[in-house]
Amino acid sequence: MKKLNVVVTAYNRPKYLYITLDSIFRNKRIDEVDISVYIDGGGDRQEEVIRETSNFNISKLYINYKNIGILNSVMNSIRDSFYCGDYDEVFFLEDDHIIRKDTIDKILNTDFDGFFLSMSSCNGGKNVDYRPKGNVIKRSNFDILDEWIVGKKYTGLQRPNTDQALTEHPYNYDGVFYAFIKYNGFLSEFIDDYYVATFGIKGINSQNITEEEKVIHERFFYGDKSRWLDNVVSVLSEQPDEHNGVNIDLWPGGGFNYQ
């Protein structure tokens, strides 16, 4: 059986991280994989983020006390898994992702030959695309990606679906990974159903959130911690027009069949 490490990158959102980890540890074959959490620094709630991990049987916990950004956090989490561990594959997530209870079982039973295996699309098959919502990468593929990113070969390439160019220090990693797939001619492989969903409210860490956004946020975290994941699943089951214009990063909106 393949050896899998599930890694979660987190920054300054302790409650969000709790929900993500709760969804992971409800998986049917959780005892057959390792779970690693990478916490980026610079946020005023870092100690709270660290405390939330104590609620779960984490295999490895990595803490940066300086902010290195999401691209470096994601790359370090995968790099450490392969270069310091003996994993065959890494399934990488962020702290506003939830996964179905059968996700780990699906990954362990799936052989793929695309560059990434996307767990957040029901397209099936392969495509010159990248979806930043829960991906698996093999050890044999990572060396190519790592060399390309360390060399900053993405600098100046066009961001997906925009007329903007990627800078040397990009804000996020999804545009960089998409550019890697597109400009190197690789194919991502897409799973046959939605196994991953995101629930982050954009800008929730700022002071400029709307009353509607606050309502959704309060719905997420209503009641005891044991209810939070179910609250998020309930919101995800609704259609986007039911959210009153809230700029919520729901994927797939109204299409996630949590089981």
Q: Which helix H or strand E contains 34, and what residues bound it?
A: strand 34-39
Q: Average pLDDT over the chain, rounded to whole?
A: 87
Q: Report d(CA 7, CA 140) in Å as an integer.
A: 18
What's the predicted TM-score (pTM) here? 0.92
Q: What is the pLDDT of residue 241?
A: 52
pLDDT score for 125: 77
Strands, DSSP E only, in 44-140? 60-63, 89-94, 97-99, 116-118, 120-121, 125-127, 135-138
How would you classify residue 161: left for phi > 0, otherwise alpha for psi between -120 and 50, otherwise beta?
Answer: left
4-10 vs 34-39, strand pairing mode: parallel
φ/ψ of residue 38, rounded to 5: -115, 115
| pLDDT at residue 86 greater than cutoff 70 | yes
pLDDT at 77 over 60: yes
**Which CATH architecture describes the domain 4-193?**
Alpha-Beta Complex (3.90)
Please report the pLDDT score of residue 74 as a whole number.
96
Name the residue ranges covered by the structural domains of the chain: 4-193, 201-251
Q: At 59, is the pLDDT very low, low, confident or very high (cuts 50, 70, 90)?
A: very high
